[in-house]
Chain A
């Protein structure tokens, strides 16, 4: 435990998208490229208002579509501008080519993904498959669960992505509706403290500039791709240590651990949030806003004598493999809640389910893993749903798993 300073913060009611926009203002971004789509839209609404109000001096470029939007920030980032971009659902998909090259060209763009169900059918609500589309191509990916964490993680994203040891873009995901459009109290630190946390963005020898003649992304055919992928893989691995440094530094500068407030205690681990996990026989896993109903349900079930805890994944890339092993090796049953799907995959489970099972494979003593797919398209995962999940997990403490995957509250299946 390092000593924390007492910092006077302003308490302001804002939703997740407004929190991100305010963090971008704190980070003094240079270029914002925008194209509207719910639920991301309010990020650009708020940024444009901050610019109009004279709070932020930045180029605000409304693109002709998401592909151009993401190309714009990629190029701006390569010439040394600090950038903010974002999208949701099918907008994010439409930009996919630009999103991949942003990573391979190592432009530390910060993107906000307001998670939204993929079309068709049309729905505004949350589903994590949009952001998951880039899980394999070298973006850093975080999932936040409160407006406060959205604010804090946005500042951290610039610090980590722009670090010369990393130079990788960062995607911050937040659940459409439940976080993007829900107002909570956010504690804003004094703005002048930011300079002690976030150094200016400096690309050094990788700056595209007439005085620094370099070529980015030439045609290489079979000669160079392997090495470039290998470098990229190493950079994302190096990001682990840089993330830890950034969280420690955040605490030193702003007087609280990222995501923590006077009301919400966040254990000091950037990658996961363990909750009541020490003696837990059943451990629930989730990402995003589902964590809050999970915690209420866990407390209620603890009062009834159930030994249950939670591990929330905060950083999905790089994946917290060692933390997963450390926290889950003593559990009897792990219940993974996926707000996504991976149709036709092993056991027909969700994406996080596969990642957890893969992380646990090398253990001599492995917990059983159950999967609960739910909350797709903006449907609720309620406290009662989580209580049901805990009970199903409990039933499997000493019995083998015959049905590994459940769909939470889908009409037509028992729930």
Chain B
């Protein structure tokens, strides 16, 4: 047996704080169900992540032994993260745009670690054909599954018990019975908390998960160039790194993948008061020659402070990130065609989703 086949890994990609418990509980259920099937299993978070920070993409892993014992499984899994994974679970569809959890690695494609013929499952209300347009291409066939549900967001560190957990388990059982199968899953859920609605959520997801094969080369081009990290001889001494020059932004660490909402600007009502520029913690606003404030979306983390401090009603409004496929700047779009921009603004603001209320998000 090849080394990489001795452990099967499930990667759960989630948004820090809002889905931290959810990710951990999903992992736990997979571990217990795999053990019901007589396989050793464990779980661990990618420890360098920032799961305590709003919206930051973070990862949780489950390792399942395949013909090896519990102790060897621990040996293989004493890792920051596995090299390759069999299944990826994405708990918020906006994460399909990429994952940048920490400063020194760059923005990574969501399916970076997928094994050949692996499976990626996402929770989304979007249609399969819309979602396929967001996934980076691979040079092998793989399976894409969609669980039709609102991405589950809870408040700080809390767990929103909305059956997402059961739906994810059911979908994995359908698409990857080698990881957990439906009989053992139902047995585990019944044992854990005998409740009809939980078991039916599992079965419902099992029978209704939408899935299709993604062909070799199908999907978008996602150029990922891992930055070359310096050797000890090349680095400055004494914990020093060069700062970003004045007026420039950090090319190595953008943080745009943190957001699940983005601010939209109605330039027609803007009074040029500059408060958004002053208050933005990430310095995402750029002054335009005619005195408006444009947004660098690839650096915006969607914190909502600009919307909070803007004194004009409905000048800056937070909208759902999942409606956008790029980080095109708003000022440019407005200059191009102001009437069209106004219509577009209305459209995206009408489609707003009410996310969980978290203080300080400009709502």
Residues of A within 8 A of B (CB): 11, 13, 15, 39, 120-121, 124-125, 146, 176-178, 181-185, 261, 263-264, 289-290, 292-296, 299, 378-383, 410-413
Contact = CB atoms under 8 A, between A and B. Distances in A.
Nearest to B76: A296
Contacts of A146: 74
Interface string B75-86: 111111000000
B235 to A, nearest CB: 9
A411 B104 CA distance: 14
B177 interface: no
Given A292-B71, A411-B231, A182 B42 contact: yes
Contact of B234 (A183, A410, A412): A412
Nearest to B63: A182
Q: Is the interface of A mostly helix, strand, loop or mixed?
A: loop
Contact of A176 (B31, B47, B71, B230): B47
B70 A125 contact: no
B43 interface: yes
A176 B232 CA distance: 24
B229 interface: yes
A183 B44 contact: yes
B35 interface: yes
Contacts of B183: none
Contact of A378 (B27, B47, B230): B47
11 contacts: A15-B44, A120-B239, A181-B47, A183-B27, A183-B42, A184-B74, A185-B35, A185-B40, A261-B70, A263-B40, A411-B231
B9 interface: no
What 7 A-B pairs come out closest when comparing CB atoms? Answer: A412-B231, A177-B47, A296-B75, A182-B44, A292-B75, A263-B70, A412-B232
A290 B80 CA distance: 13
Nearest to A121: B239
Contacts of B42: 13, 182-185
Among A121, A178, A183, A410, which residue has the most Cβ atoms of chain B within 10 A?
Answer: A183
B45 interface: yes
A354 B28 CA distance: 41
A13 B25 CA distance: 11
Interface in B46-105: 47-48, 69-72, 74-80
Interface of B: 27-28, 31-32, 35, 40, 42-45, 47-48, 69-72, 74-80, 229-234, 239
Nearest to A123: B48
Contact of B229 (A15, A182, A295, A411): A411
A39 to B, nearest CB: 8
B71 A263 contact: yes
A381 B77 CA distance: 11
Given A13-B31, A182-B77, A411 B47 contact: no
B71 A411 contact: no
A123 B20 CA distance: 20
Nearest to B29: A13
A181 B44 CA distance: 6
Given A177-B80, A183-B28, A296-B72, A124 B44 contact: no
Contacts of A411: 229-232
B71 A383 contact: no
A293 B75 contact: yes
Contacts of B77: 182
Contacts of A120: 239
A125 B239 contact: no
A380 to B, nearest CB: 6
Nearest to A122: B239
A44 to B, nearest CB: 14
Contacts of B31: 13, 183, 185
A185 B229 contact: no
Among B44, B48, B72, B74, which residue has the most Cβ atoms of chain A within 10 A?
Answer: B74
Contacts of A412: 231-234
A125 B47 contact: yes
B100 to A, nearest CB: 18
